Structures are given as C-alpha cells and as structure tokens.
Structure 1
C-alpha cells in the first residue's frame, strides 16, 4: 500500500480529543525536580496521518549532549505518567512524551496498532518536530514501540531504555512471569467492550494491583481516577485492547528485527516482583550493549512503586554522553 493510501486509511477513523495537562502528585521519596511541572507544555501534531498529542519540556543547550528524549507510556496509562521524570530531565534538553495513537489525547486510528506501525507514527512525529536523532525510553507497551523504533531506524537512536514487560516473538516469550494473567491478551471485541463500559477502573485495578509488589505503593488514587476517565472516553478501551490484539503480528515483526542486533547502548529496568531478569535476558538476544538493572522490591509500575531508584537510573543513563 503506498504512503498516501496508508495515511488515508489511518486518518479516516481518527477521532481527535483535547487532552488537558494534569498535575501529578510527587511520591514522598521522589527526588526534587529540575524544572517546574508548569513548564511542561501540551501540543498536537500530524504524524503519519494521525493526530498525536504530546507533552514537551526543556530546551536544547549548547553546553550539553542535547539529544531529545522520547518517553513512551504503556497500557492503562498515558503520557501523564512521565511528568515527574520530565521535570528531572528537562533542564538542558528537549523531552517529548507522546500519547500513543488510540490513547490520551491522540487520535484513534482504524488500524495500525502493531508496534511496528506505532513506531512509524512516533518517528513521523519526531521528524515533523524537526529532530532526527533521539534517545528512547519505553515502559510496558511503550517499550515494544521503542524497540520497534530502534530496530527500524537504528542510525537515528543514540540509546534506548526498556522498562518492565517483554518483547513478543523474542526467545521463550510465552513463559514470561506476567503471562500468568495473559487472558487479557485475548480480551477484545464487542463483548469485552460492553463488559467494561462504565467499569473501566474496575478492569484497570487488576493491572494496577496484581502487577504491583504492593498495591498500596502502586499507581496513586488520583492517577487511577485520571487514567480511568481518559480510557472511558469513546473508543479508547477498544483502542487499548488492540495493542494486545496485535501481539501475533508483533511477534512476527520482532523475530525478524532480532536477526539484526541493535548496537546502541540499552538499559533494561525491571521490577524484582514483576518480570525479574526475563526482559534483561530477552534484550541480550536483540542487542549487543545491554545493561540490566532489577529494581529491588518493585513490581511492574516502576515509576510509581520505586520513583527515586527508577529515575536515578534513567537520568544517569540518559545524561551519559552519546557515542556518536
């Protein structure tokens, strides 16, 4: 399919919704921000025929390695999850946190929820903003998009961070620890949508509680209300289900990507009580320069369960000078 038809197909079903920038609650042990949350701006841009909403903070400095950072959220969350990290990183570099197509304030495409296509959308956003080289960070579904981005555009990625989930199609991926709950991978279509309508928070509580080491230290109540309201908007739950529906295609794509290992520095952060060393082991099958860190006592929600330890690792890695 040529580029024009691809754009028209994806744009045809787009539903653009305004996304207000929401304040975040700092964890008690979170480090002090480098810039105020009020410095984070909300924008929307056309990317690959899809209207993508994104948050932006910071500005480039001639005195530092100012490669922009792109932060990619996971399921049940939006770009909102990254605000504490954005305030830490945005002193002398541009930090971008898009809502994945189908989530938050981004449009809802009729197709293209495989991670290869989502990565192409984010890549188009980066280029539309005038950037070429980036540093990538992805959590959950976002790490899959980050990997697909780096695999397709390796010469444009200085470094990449994968945060707690797994890579479909890589190694023995069907046995990952979190897959004990893999019923939700096949939970899509009219009946599931009707079952969760008006009960979005009840559905999400399964993830926020069961994938956390301690539900009391997981996603905050304020954020649970915010994310539930975001996904309750028309079409958002269906789009979220499509991220999982696309896993068989992702597995094929990632198996092909893995034949050409990534060479840029890769940091893998996982929760001791979540994926453990599994994602680190997967990463070593797809990349040659992997540094893995298991966050002690943490579950899947690293930014919420262990904000200090997680952001310290992220800032140190991101601020390291680029090899190129």
Structure 2
C-alpha cells in the first residue's frame, strides 16, 4: 500500500468514526419515546409520548393504512422543547376498537378526552389523511384549546366541491365494508394496502418502506382492525354533514397545509381556505400522498418550523 492509499484509508476511517460519533451523540440526546395506554372516553388509547418543556404540547394523528409509527422520524425533532403525543386512533394500532363512533367528530372527542386525561388543555394538532379530518374536527369543536393546526394531504368531507377530490378514481373503497369485503381481505391485508401505498405515491419505490409495510399489514390483520378501518370511510356521509356545519365558523388559529404535488395538489389548500382565515399552503414538489415517507426532509422541516414559530407569527 503506497503513501497515497494509506492517507486515503486513514481519511475514510476518520470520517466514518466522526459520523458514527455524531450519530451516537444524536441518538443519546434524542428524547426517549415511551409507549403509554391512556384510559379516556371509555377507551384505552395507545399513544407514543416523548419530550418535556414549557412549549405547547403537539398531538400527531396518523392516517389510514398506518399507525402512530409513521411519526417516529418527526417526534424527536418536536420533542426538544415540548411534549409530543402520537396516539393510535380508536380502532387502529393497539387502541380500543369502539362499538361505534368512527365519525371524525367523535374520534376527535376521544382524542380530546385523552389529552385532558394526561393533564393538558392547549395543544397544537397535526394530522395526515384520516388523521387530518380528526385534527380539523378537534380544532372546530375546541377552538379555544388549539393553537395551530397542520393538515397533511387528503381532503375534508363536506367542504366545497369535495366529491371531486383527487382520489375519486378510488371511490370504491369508500363503500368497501361489510361481511363480503372483510372476507375478501382476510389474510390478504397487505395486498389490499399495497394499492394505497403504491398507487397513491408519486413513485412506489420511494413510498412506505418494506419494514413499515410488514408492520402495518400485521397490525391491521389483528381481529377487528380491518373492520374498524373500513368504518373510517363508511362514516364519510356523517363527516360531510358535520364538517359542513363546522365550516360555517372559520377556524381562528393558524393553519398549515402540506399537500403532495402528485396527490391532492392544491385541492386541500383550497378547502382549508374555505374553513380558516389564516392558511399557509405548501405544495410538496414531486411527492405523492405519503409525505412523511416520500418527502421526509421537507415535510419534517415544514412541520417543525410551523410548530416552533411564535404563536403570533405562526403563519
């Protein structure tokens, strides 16, 4: 090995050592994420919790075909100065499966009860997909307790021309519930979810990672979970009625909308401006529906900036 090769190998070793040390330091400094089960509204709601500090807590609400796990890359970034709560929605993950009440107004009431059970009142709320509907219903019902709302790629039933939403080609799955659909999907949960993970992405090879796909498919395959997931869509007619009524009173707090350029486009941004007066809309270039997976750096940056901004300048 000549002198040049020795220097090159030494430089590579030192670089790797520095990167490794930095990673270990970052890991050691990252707030620990704890699993909790909270009794609220007659349910047991599983939540991931991290962080501490005097800043307003933030609640992260996942969407369909995922669970609170989707927020793991974001939680440490938000938990540096505040409490972060990422619950599994009732019916999803390991939270209780309610006998009824899958409409987003009721789900928001359940999450609100969980927040109060943990001793918090004022919060900032973030939601993706079905979770954004719950986030909106939370803010609409408890406006004095919500400092800001972040809505991430999907739509608001009952608001504006919502029936022309971008995923209208998949309207079939809004009505995919009951005995026969459950029998068709049983044992084939992953095949069913692959449609959403692949076809709602701008590039299926950069969508939900393989390890997460295995986790979500196994989680939803547990008894009662697919039926609960179907109910999130079965209740859209009720959601549309509730949201049309909510929309008569504009949200007073700042609202951030993150929309996949290759998914909802400007549709959700336009809808948000019908229900709130202080809206910042961001189109995530090149991304489909799965923002946390397809555009993680930009998504995390936008959410952290918005959540950490002073209340009076959050927009």
Report the equivalent of 1:24.
none
Report the equivalent of 1:26.
none
Residues 1:58 and 2:51 are matched in the alignment: yes
Report the equivalent of 1:303.
292
Mapping for residues 1-324 of structure 1, pairs under 5 Å: 39-61=32-54, 66-323=55-312
RMSD value, Cα? 1.4
Give the number of aligned pairs: 289
SS in 1 for 2:239: helix
1:279 Cα deviation from its structure 2 partner:
0.2
Q: Is the CA contact (8 Å cut-off) linking 1:35 and 1:88 kept in structure 2?
A: no
Q: Is the CA contact (8 Å cut-off) linking 1:37 and 1:83 kept in structure 2?
A: no
| Runs of 5+ consecutive residues of structure 1 not aligned to the other structure | 1-31
Between structure 1 and structure 2, the one with the greater Rg is 2
1:38 Cα deviation from its structure 2 partner:
7.3
Q: Is the CA contact (8 Å cut-off) linking 2:31 and 2:50 kept in structure 1?
A: no
Write the distance in 1 (CA, Å) between the matches of 2:127 and 2:26: 20
Report the equivalent of 1:17.
none
Q: Is the CA contact (8 Å cut-off) linking 1:33 and 1:88 kept in structure 2?
A: no
Q: Is the CA contact (8 Å cut-off) linking 1:158 and 1:323 kept in structure 2?
A: no
SS in 2 for 1:177: coil
Provide the TM-score with structure 1 as the length reference. 0.87
SS in 2 for 1:94: strand
| Runs of 5+ consecutive residues of structure 2 not aligned to the other structure | 1-24
Write the distance in 1 (CA, Å) between the matches of 2:151 and 2:28: 25
Q: 1:194 to 1:37 in 2, by over 3 A?
A: farther
SS in 2 for 1:84: coil
Q: 1:33 to 1:168 in 2, by over 3 A?
A: farther
Per-residue CA deviation, residues 256-290 of structure 1 (Å, 9 max, x unaligned), is 00000001000000000000000000000000000
Write the distance in 2 (CA, Å) between the matches of 1:36 and 1:280: 36
SS in 2 for 1:59: coil
